[in-house]
Structure 1
Amino acid sequence: MSTSTITVRFEAPAPEPFRRLETRQAFAEALRSKPGEWALLGKYSTPGTMRQEAYAVRQALDPKDQPFAPAGSFEAEARSVCGEFRVYVRYVGGGAA
Protein backbone atom coordinates (compact mmCIF):
# COMPACT_ATOMS: atom_id res chain seq x y z
CA MET A 1 0.00 0.00 0.00
CA SER A 2 1.50 3.35 -1.03
CA THR A 3 1.07 6.48 1.00
CA SER A 4 0.52 9.84 -0.68
CA THR A 5 1.52 13.11 0.88
CA ILE A 6 -0.51 16.20 0.14
CA THR A 7 -0.44 19.72 1.46
CA VAL A 8 -3.71 20.91 2.96
CA ARG A 9 -4.27 24.56 3.77
CA PHE A 10 -7.09 25.28 6.19
CA GLU A 11 -8.71 28.71 6.08
CA ALA A 12 -11.93 30.45 6.99
CA PRO A 13 -14.42 31.22 4.22
CA ALA A 14 -13.49 34.21 2.09
CA PRO A 15 -14.93 37.53 3.24
CA GLU A 16 -17.29 39.58 1.16
CA PRO A 17 -15.34 41.74 -1.28
CA PHE A 18 -14.27 45.17 -0.10
CA ARG A 19 -16.45 47.47 -2.21
CA ARG A 20 -16.79 50.72 -0.27
CA LEU A 21 -14.09 53.38 -0.58
CA GLU A 22 -13.47 53.34 3.18
CA THR A 23 -12.92 49.58 3.36
CA ARG A 24 -10.78 49.61 0.21
CA GLN A 25 -8.64 52.36 1.76
CA ALA A 26 -8.12 50.28 4.91
CA PHE A 27 -7.33 47.19 2.80
CA ALA A 28 -4.77 49.09 0.69
CA GLU A 29 -3.12 50.55 3.81
CA ALA A 30 -2.81 47.08 5.33
CA LEU A 31 -1.09 45.85 2.16
CA ARG A 32 1.26 48.85 2.12
CA SER A 33 2.39 47.85 5.60
CA LYS A 34 3.42 44.39 4.27
CA PRO A 35 4.88 44.89 0.77
CA GLY A 36 4.99 41.80 -1.41
CA GLU A 37 2.49 39.77 0.65
CA TRP A 38 -0.66 38.56 -1.08
CA ALA A 39 -4.05 39.15 0.56
CA LEU A 40 -7.54 38.06 -0.43
CA LEU A 41 -9.62 41.02 -1.59
CA GLY A 42 -12.75 38.89 -1.84
CA LYS A 43 -14.73 36.30 -3.74
CA TYR A 44 -17.03 37.12 -6.65
CA SER A 45 -20.12 35.59 -8.20
CA THR A 46 -18.79 35.09 -11.74
CA PRO A 47 -15.43 34.74 -13.48
CA GLY A 48 -16.14 37.97 -15.38
CA THR A 49 -16.65 40.07 -12.27
CA MET A 50 -13.56 38.48 -10.74
CA ARG A 51 -11.39 39.42 -13.74
CA GLN A 52 -12.90 42.91 -13.93
CA GLU A 53 -12.17 43.54 -10.26
CA ALA A 54 -8.53 42.47 -10.66
CA TYR A 55 -8.20 44.80 -13.66
CA ALA A 56 -9.83 47.68 -11.76
CA VAL A 57 -7.39 47.31 -8.86
CA ARG A 58 -4.36 47.22 -11.19
CA GLN A 59 -5.46 50.29 -13.15
CA ALA A 60 -6.90 52.36 -10.24
CA LEU A 61 -9.05 54.47 -12.61
CA ASP A 62 -12.41 54.46 -10.82
CA PRO A 63 -12.83 56.70 -7.76
CA LYS A 64 -13.49 53.63 -5.58
CA ASP A 65 -10.13 52.23 -6.69
CA GLN A 66 -8.07 55.32 -5.83
CA PRO A 67 -6.69 53.63 -2.69
CA PHE A 68 -4.73 51.41 -5.13
CA ALA A 69 -3.23 54.38 -7.02
CA PRO A 70 -0.94 55.00 -8.71
CA ALA A 71 -1.57 52.36 -11.36
CA GLY A 72 1.02 49.62 -11.12
CA SER A 73 1.74 49.98 -7.42
CA PHE A 74 -0.50 46.97 -6.65
CA GLU A 75 -0.64 43.61 -8.40
CA ALA A 76 -3.97 41.80 -8.58
CA GLU A 77 -4.55 38.18 -9.60
CA ALA A 78 -7.87 36.56 -10.46
CA ARG A 79 -8.02 32.91 -9.39
CA SER A 80 -10.68 30.20 -9.47
CA VAL A 81 -10.28 28.05 -6.35
CA CYS A 82 -12.62 25.10 -5.79
CA GLY A 83 -15.47 26.83 -7.62
CA GLU A 84 -14.92 30.22 -5.97
CA PHE A 85 -13.84 33.24 -7.99
CA ARG A 86 -11.26 35.12 -5.94
CA VAL A 87 -9.07 38.19 -6.31
CA TYR A 88 -5.73 38.39 -4.53
CA VAL A 89 -3.80 41.66 -4.26
CA ARG A 90 -0.32 42.68 -3.14
CA TYR A 91 1.51 45.98 -2.85
CA VAL A 92 4.68 46.21 -4.93
CA GLY A 93 5.30 49.96 -4.73
CA GLY A 94 6.29 52.25 -7.55
CA GLY A 95 3.71 52.51 -10.27
CA ALA A 96 3.02 55.40 -12.60
CA ALA A 97 3.35 58.81 -11.03
Structure 2
Amino acid sequence: MAEAYVIIGQHYGNEGQDLDKKIAYYQKAIDIFRQAGLKDREATAIVDMADLQSIKGSYDIAVKNLRTALAIYQSIGKKTWMVCTTCLAAALPSREMLITP
Protein backbone atom coordinates (compact mmCIF):
# COMPACT_ATOMS: atom_id res chain seq x y z
CA MET A 1 0.00 0.00 0.00
CA ALA A 2 2.84 2.40 0.81
CA GLU A 3 4.34 2.01 -2.66
CA ALA A 4 0.92 2.85 -4.12
CA TYR A 5 0.89 6.11 -2.16
CA VAL A 6 4.33 6.98 -3.52
CA ILE A 7 3.16 6.27 -7.08
CA ILE A 8 0.00 8.35 -6.59
CA GLY A 9 2.08 11.18 -5.17
CA GLN A 10 4.38 11.10 -8.18
CA HIS A 11 1.45 11.96 -10.43
CA TYR A 12 0.98 15.36 -8.81
CA GLY A 13 2.94 18.44 -9.86
CA ASN A 14 5.50 20.40 -7.88
CA GLU A 15 3.50 23.60 -7.44
CA GLY A 16 0.73 24.90 -5.20
CA GLN A 17 -1.94 22.49 -4.05
CA ASP A 18 -0.49 19.70 -6.18
CA LEU A 19 2.74 19.91 -4.21
CA ASP A 20 0.82 19.83 -0.92
CA LYS A 21 -1.09 16.73 -2.07
CA LYS A 22 2.14 15.11 -3.23
CA ILE A 23 3.74 15.69 0.18
CA ALA A 24 0.63 14.30 1.92
CA TYR A 25 0.82 11.07 -0.11
CA TYR A 26 4.51 10.70 0.68
CA GLN A 27 3.72 11.17 4.38
CA LYS A 28 1.12 8.39 4.19
CA ALA A 29 3.68 6.13 2.56
CA ILE A 30 6.29 6.98 5.20
CA ASP A 31 3.86 6.15 7.99
CA ILE A 32 3.15 2.73 6.48
CA PHE A 33 6.83 1.99 5.81
CA ARG A 34 7.55 2.90 9.44
CA GLN A 35 4.74 0.69 10.80
CA ALA A 36 5.93 -2.21 8.62
CA GLY A 37 9.53 -1.80 9.81
CA LEU A 38 10.81 -1.13 6.27
CA LYS A 39 13.49 1.30 7.38
CA ASP A 40 15.29 1.54 4.05
CA ARG A 41 12.09 2.46 2.18
CA GLU A 42 11.06 4.79 5.00
CA ALA A 43 14.34 6.69 4.78
CA THR A 44 14.21 6.87 0.98
CA ALA A 45 10.67 8.25 1.05
CA ILE A 46 11.71 10.77 3.71
CA VAL A 47 14.55 11.97 1.48
CA ASP A 48 12.13 12.30 -1.43
CA MET A 49 9.66 14.22 0.72
CA ALA A 50 12.44 16.51 1.97
CA ASP A 51 13.26 17.31 -1.64
CA LEU A 52 9.62 18.33 -2.16
CA GLN A 53 9.67 20.41 1.01
CA SER A 54 12.79 22.15 -0.25
CA ILE A 55 11.01 22.96 -3.51
CA LYS A 56 8.18 24.40 -1.42
CA GLY A 57 10.68 26.56 0.47
CA SER A 58 10.15 24.74 3.78
CA TYR A 59 13.88 24.42 4.39
CA ASP A 60 13.69 23.85 8.16
CA ILE A 61 11.30 20.93 7.71
CA ALA A 62 13.36 19.55 4.82
CA VAL A 63 16.55 19.65 6.89
CA LYS A 64 14.81 17.99 9.84
CA ASN A 65 13.57 15.21 7.60
CA LEU A 66 16.96 14.73 5.94
CA ARG A 67 18.54 14.38 9.36
CA THR A 68 15.89 11.80 10.26
CA ALA A 69 16.63 9.86 7.07
CA LEU A 70 20.35 10.06 7.75
CA ALA A 71 19.86 8.61 11.24
CA ILE A 72 17.76 5.78 9.82
CA TYR A 73 20.36 4.98 7.15
CA GLN A 74 23.12 4.96 9.76
CA SER A 75 21.07 2.75 12.09
CA ILE A 76 20.71 0.05 9.43
CA GLY A 77 24.32 0.33 8.25
CA LYS A 78 23.36 1.50 4.79
CA LYS A 79 26.15 3.26 2.94
CA THR A 80 23.75 5.33 0.84
CA TRP A 81 23.37 7.60 3.86
CA MET A 82 26.31 9.48 2.33
CA VAL A 83 23.96 10.55 -0.45
CA CYS A 84 21.64 11.87 2.22
CA THR A 85 24.36 14.17 3.59
CA THR A 86 24.85 15.54 0.07
CA CYS A 87 21.09 16.11 -0.16
CA LEU A 88 21.20 17.79 3.23
CA ALA A 89 23.85 20.22 2.07
CA ALA A 90 21.98 20.90 -1.18
CA ALA A 91 18.69 21.56 0.61
CA LEU A 92 20.12 24.33 2.71
CA PRO A 93 19.88 27.92 1.58
CA SER A 94 23.04 28.49 3.62
CA ARG A 95 25.66 25.96 4.64
CA GLU A 96 25.83 27.63 8.05
CA MET A 97 22.70 25.69 9.02
CA LEU A 98 24.72 22.45 8.89
CA ILE A 99 26.42 23.47 12.13
CA THR A 100 23.12 23.55 14.06
CA PRO A 101 22.40 20.20 15.71
TM-score of the alignment, normalized to the shorter chain, above 0.5: no
Return the index of the structure with the highest Cα Rg: 1
More helix by share: 2
More strand by share: 1
Q: Between the two structures, name the one with larger relative contact order (CA 8 Å, sep ≥ 6).
A: 1
